[in-house]
Chain A
Amino acid sequence: DQQVKQNSPSLSVQEGRISILNCDYTNSMFDYFLWYKKYPAEGPTFLISISSIKDKNEDGRFTVFLNKSAKHLSLHIVPSQPGDSAVYFCAATSRFNFGNEKLTFGTGTRLTIIP
């Protein structure tokens, strides 16, 4: 039962270019979406989030776009830097019901930035 799907297990992008990571969800109850970044031997680190009342949220080089009708969100990183190489997890929750307690994660996308 994959309620949150990240269909690309890996992505390679040239340094300085845009990285676009995609995520699809199936549960209509989800109203809050988050992206986490994970380096080897570390836990996931919060990156950026978006509420379902918005379609875009920007924080520096990171922008998350939400298309509710398509149940799709994407994370854009511009410009990509070598330190961005990590595994990126999309996560979702029904904040109305659970707050941030019960996050449902995708399987992750390994991003490699090529110098």
Chain B
Amino acid sequence: EPEVTQTPSHQVTQMGQEVILRCVPISNHLYFYWYRQILGQKVEFLVSFYNNEISEKSEIFDDQFSVERPDGSNFTLKIRSTKLEDSAMYFCASSLDLNEKLFFGSGTQLSVL
């Protein structure tokens, strides 16, 4: 079964550093998403991406965050200057269409020290 792939599985960084989290969505999917889960809290929507532009974003997704689809297969989340509170599990997801179910990757655990 096709799956969403995320790399790396763990990322440790110093506060103030830039990080890029990478995702390979399912190949024929059109919508791409980033969600995150801070330890002990709920999974939160960050951003959705369609047709090479942001479709929706949450209030969490401020100017420190950006997303990009640099080529036909990768989808990245960049955090420009990481803060301690950015420590979380970041999930990438994709869906075939707007009303189709989301397929999630296994996540990248980001630890900001």
Contact = CB atoms under 8 A, between A and B. Distances in A.
Interface of A: 2, 4, 34, 36, 41-46, 49, 89, 91, 95, 98-108
B48 A105 contact: no
B111 interface: no
Contacts of A103: 35, 43, 45, 102
A103 B44 CA distance: 8
Contact of A89 (B43, B93, B98): B43
Interface of B: 4, 6, 31, 33, 35, 41-45, 48, 55-56, 58, 91, 93, 95, 97-107
Given A44-B91, A106-B42, A107-B41, A101 B104 contact: no
B49 to A, nearest CB: 10
A34 B106 contact: no
A111 B43 CA distance: 17
B37 to A, nearest CB: 8
Contacts, number: 62
A103 B6 CA distance: 20
Given A41-B106, A43-B91, A43-B107, A105 B42 contact: yes
A45 B104 contact: yes
Contact of A99 (B43, B58, B99): B99
27 contacts: A2-B42, A4-B42, A42-B107, A43-B4, A43-B6, A43-B106, A43-B107, A44-B43, A46-B101, A46-B103, A89-B42, A91-B43, A99-B97, A99-B98, A100-B99, A100-B100, A100-B101, A100-B102, A101-B48, A101-B98, A102-B48, A102-B56, A103-B43, A105-B42, A105-B44, A107-B42, A108-B42
Contacts of A106: 42
A34 B43 contact: no
A101 B56 contact: yes
B57 to A, nearest CB: 9
A4 B99 CA distance: 20
